[in-house]
Chain A
């Protein structure tokens, strides 16, 4: 994935660990980020960390709380709070892979977490497809402790499938993903069934 790819900026890394990191962004940046979306945090020398959004948390402050208590808010005030105020939105990301200095994508935990204030972008459709081409990352999701891994796996697979060019490719992708899940969860049919239900 080259630097020339058009990506939507999400925010910057607030704090990070090997398995997960948190991104700070502003509500002003229009639509709230989506659960299960693939994001990319830039690292040194062309390297990157890939992760999946598993929690979006809109912060409040005393100012907002008091406005709620006051009641009669007109549209200008609501728009000001939503679009102009720098009330931070925290986005939590589960790390699932990365990109090495040679530009190769990998789907296991990278050796280093992203640095504070690194830019985080939403992955472009090409990048989403490339990342989803191999399903090794599902193991990380199913074993995740900090995120609702099963829900996240279903949401992510749906989004990767949706990035395919046509409906046939989308269906093929979901079938392949279903097979991989069946292999990984062969000893837990109840859990497997719950995820498969969410893929339909």
Chain B
């Protein structure tokens, strides 16, 4: 009878004890939310037009624009404007419609965070990977690897505190990249060192690390160094690492436009922090600009972290790409994604475009790269699997003469949620 309370017309929630989310109390706020969004849409439509007009006005990358960008970066260390790497902001490249067959390597990870209420203190990383050789007709190779971390040095930081989710996420992201590098090396070896076949190493999410602010500079640099190693290996294998960001919310180009409109002498920490395009993302600029299978020019992100990447030889650049099917023409049908890559992977832009075309074709089936969907599917740890793992742990703990039990709080939570 868990569904009973969801039937329309059943107003008295107290008579349906199984109903946990009191949906009738939420109907008004939900309607308000929809109304607020509709209102925002109007405001945003004007703002988009305004941004598009400024984008057209500043399309040529002038010396003045470069100077303003440099000034903004100096004025505010947290400023994340885009650095244009070509002569025009609105330059567009069409990917080859029928590129040479490529090998797509993708990885994705999932995790179980350390939980003081679980049978034991541990965390788990699980990385799924797939290698799809386009045009081969063969089933792709797939794999899943798991690692269990339970030593004190894995679980506690240097100040003896239990590590947080950020740390677990960073370890997972690093391992994803390492898997890509291992698989790229194996593929290149299997090709007998043949360099003509593009190897595309696709990662879900940005390549440029997100760093928690509390990390010291030294810790940040150390982390970038860790991520640089697999990138070194990918470069050696002449693979093209790409970070794929679906529905990107970044606004680096918009930030640049805002600075471009300021007189040079007015560029200050205060003026660059004001966000005139709040609620907008770069994607909206490129929806109108990019036809299916076209990408924008390259930009770099202005940030300290990217400077650290550059010191390691891997300055990170990005572009926007419309991965819609060829027949889905027009801004409304556009499916603009952001792709991040190390700058060295763009040294030969034709080669880069062949790699992006392979990703574009792979995304036709579902509007999102097939290989990333599969890597995710391979990585994900289901509730059922987690329960089995905990059971295994419990048995082993008992065998070792220890009592491994979940906390009373967790036990009670499990007992009530089992009914839903």
User: Which residues of A line the B interface, CB within 8 A?
Assistant: 63, 66-67, 70, 72-77, 79-80, 82-85
Contact = CB atoms under 8 A, between A and B. Distances in A.
Interface in B291-343: none
A72 to B, nearest CB: 7
Contact of B373 (A63, A75, A83): A63
13 contacts: A73-B365, A74-B134, A75-B138, A76-B136, A76-B137, A76-B139, A77-B365, A79-B140, A82-B139, A83-B139, A84-B142, A84-B374, A85-B377
Contact of A79 (B138, B364, B374): B138
A85 B130 CA distance: 11
Interface of B: 130, 132-140, 142, 364-366, 370, 373-374, 377
Contacts of A73: 365
A81 to B, nearest CB: 9
A70 B366 contact: yes
A80 B322 CA distance: 26
Contacts of B140: 76, 79-80, 84
Contact of A67 (B142, B365, B377): B365
Contacts of B373: 63
A159 B272 CA distance: 80
A76 B134 contact: yes
A76 B132 contact: yes
A141 B366 CA distance: 46
A79 B365 contact: no
A82 B142 CA distance: 13
B144 to A, nearest CB: 11
Contacts of B137: 74-76, 79
Contacts of A74: 134-135, 137
Given A66-B366, A76-B135, A80-B142, 6 more contacts: A67-B365, A70-B366, A72-B365, A74-B135, A79-B140, A84-B139
Nearest to B325: A70
Given A77-B370, A79-B137, A72 B364 contact: yes
A67 B139 contact: no
Nearest to B373: A63
A76 B365 contact: no
A80 B130 CA distance: 10
B364 A70 contact: yes
B138 A76 contact: yes
What 10 pairs between A and B have smallest CB-CB spacing? A79-B139, A75-B137, A83-B139, A70-B365, A84-B142, A80-B140, A80-B139, A84-B139, A76-B132, A67-B365
Contacts of A76: 132-140
Contacts of A80: 130, 132, 139-140, 142, 374
B217 to A, nearest CB: 44
